[in-house]
Chain A
Amino acid sequence: MKLENEAHFEQDVEELIKEIHAQYGYDFSGYARASVYRRIKRFLGQKHLTSMDALRQALSTDSYFFEIFLQEVTVNVTEMFRDPSFFLSLRENVLPILSTYPFIKIWDAGCSSGEELFSLAILLKEEGLLDRTKIYATDINQRVLKQAKEGIFSAANMPAYTSAYYAAGGKQEFSSYYSSNYGSVKFDSSLVKNVIIYPHNLATDFSFNEFHLIVCRNVLIYFNRELQERVFKLFDESMVSLGYLALGKKETLAMSEISSNYNFVDKQNRIYRKIN
């Protein structure tokens, strides 16, 4: 049923995935293919590459080109206070419990270019918890990690972020958190003074600490079932008892072996709590 040229393309992608793993150590074998195909076709178009052979050739000889490829093929699209109801729920249902701990550790897994990280930091500051919280912000992609802590975002997005911030229960003038400079804004760097930025690959790396809250939203949708299960187990090992796990609006623990260890705190916003 599938056309031959499409089938060839897909075989070439499988070869490419093996070559990348062998040469660069990044393992994409557990990524959901439909999105990988789409991202690679998009990348071929952007770089005016006419064949998969040309792409494989370029990637095998140019590690800088590979970094660009990695950034484009893994989705790094993100925004501040995405799904404001999630941040509101975190503020109302999770942070009051975390505030009973003397010291709080949070893992922002797949932090991308930092929009979610700064959203979390603002929430913590307003709830009076920022000074005793350490956030570990990780991503597979070292290029976006460099941006994550800088907090420089496009000014064009600020109207949308401002309304999302208020919908998330924001308590200040949103503009009090940043200064504007030409087309961009820079967020107050004191927001991230307790943030540790760390390259971490959910597909291959291991647990590195224990957390009271793990936030990993819209990352697992790009993985197949097996890789999702690996990551759920990794999160479970990295969670203190009675810790919280926050997933994306369309992600679920339901199919996982660890699901019996968790209860919903907020089903709509996919916030779980570890019960044993």
Chain B
Amino acid sequence: METSSKVIVIGGSWGGIQASVTILKGLPANYSIPIILVLHRLRNYDGNLQDVFKHKIALKAVEVEEKEMLLPGHVYLAPSNYHVLLENDHTFSLDDSELENYSRPSIDVTFTSVADVYAHNTVGVLLSGASKDGSSGLKHIFEKQGITIVQDPNEAEIETMPLAAIENVPGCTVMNLEQIQAFLLSLHDH
């Protein structure tokens, strides 16, 4: 299978699961761009995030496995207690180094790594959360001329993360969940 020329990377913390389900449930099973989803979770918690998504979205939700190739039609979930990095050949690497912003997985780590590989073909989406994780990664995507989207803080369950990102990346686009979904659908290559 061909690897995609674009990638979407979504980050969220408190309120991020519900927000990402709301966006992703509108995307078709054959959606043409791979999606990486980094959600903060309790450490050492083995509960299966896949099950949360399984019956709610058409795309295939899988936990990231190291050396696995990024492919369309999938939502790749960052595993608990590992950072997710992307290699130049579009395979995943996992990393258990220091927490970033008190988090592992950290949204900043994945946003930054993905933007280093995909540059302007990166679409970064930052959702609700009670953390400042994600804003420096989003800035990195912006600097590489990727697309940067932040959930409208008025709509977000917790506005801390969106507000921090808007402050750090003034050039980002603020959208509500419905608009984010419509935008992602507009990128879909039929």
Question: Judging by beta carbons under 8 Å apart, are B119 and A1 in contact?
Answer: yes
If A2-B117, A75-B97, A250-B82 are given as contacts, then 4 extra A-B residue pairs at C-beta distance below 8 Å, sorted by A number, are A75-B95, A221-B66, A249-B79, A250-B65
Cβ of A35 under 8 Å from chain B? yes
Q: Does the CB pair A2–B88 fall under 8 Å?
A: yes
Residues of chain A within 8 A (CB-CB) of B79 are 249-250
In the complex, B157 has a CB within 8 A of chain A: no
Point out the residues of chain A lying under 8 angstroms from B188, CB to CB. Answer: none
Closest residue to B95 on the A side, CB-wise? A35
Which residues of B are interface residues toward A (Cβ below 8 A)? 5, 44, 46, 65-67, 79, 81-82, 85-88, 93-98, 109, 112-113, 116-121, 144
Closest 8 CB pairs of A and B: A34-B85, A75-B97, A34-B93, A32-B93, A221-B94, A218-B96, A34-B87, A35-B95
A122 at the interface (CB under 8 A from B): no
Interfacial residues of chain A within 187-230, with CB under 8 A of chain B in the complex: 218, 221-222, 225
- Return the chain A residue nearest B144 by Cβ: A3
From B65, B96, B113, B144, give the contact of A34 (CB < 8 A). Answer: B113
Which A residues, 232 to 271, have Cβ-Cβ distances below 8 Å to chain B? Answer: 248-252, 255, 268
Contacts known (A32-B87, A34-B87, A75-B97); A1 close to B44, Cβ less than 8 A: no
Give the nearest-CB partner of A225 in chain B: B67
**A164 lies within 8 A of chain B by Cβ:** yes
Chain A proximity of B190: nearest CB distance (Å): 23
- CA separation between A268 and B5, bound complex, in Å? 34
Given known A-B contacts A2-B117, A221-B93, A250-B79, A33 and B88 have beta carbons under 8 A apart: yes
Cβ–Cβ < 8 Å partners of B113 in chain A: 34, 38
Q: How far is the CA of A32 from the CA of B89 in the complex (A)?
A: 11
A110 smallest CB distance to B (angstroms): 11
- Judge whether A221 and B116 touch: CB under 8 Å: no
- Chain A residues near B93: list those with CB within 8 A: 32, 34-35, 221-222
Interface centre among B87, B94, B118, B119 (most CB of A within 10 A): B94
Q: Which of A1, A6, A34, A167 has the most CB of B within 10 A?
A: A34
Kindly list chain A residues whose C-beta atoms are within 8 Å of the C-beta of B109. 38
B87 adjacent to A2 (CB under 8 Å): no
Once A34-B86, A34-B87 are accepted as A-B contacts, the answer to whether A84 and B44 lie under 8 Å apart by CB is yes
The smallest C-beta distance from A146 to any residue of chain B, in angstroms, reads: 21
CB A244 to nearest CB in B, in angstroms, measures 21
B87 touches A250 (CB 8 A): no
**A85 x B88 contact (CB < 8 A):** no
Distance in Å from the Cβ of B88 to the closest Cβ of chain A? 7
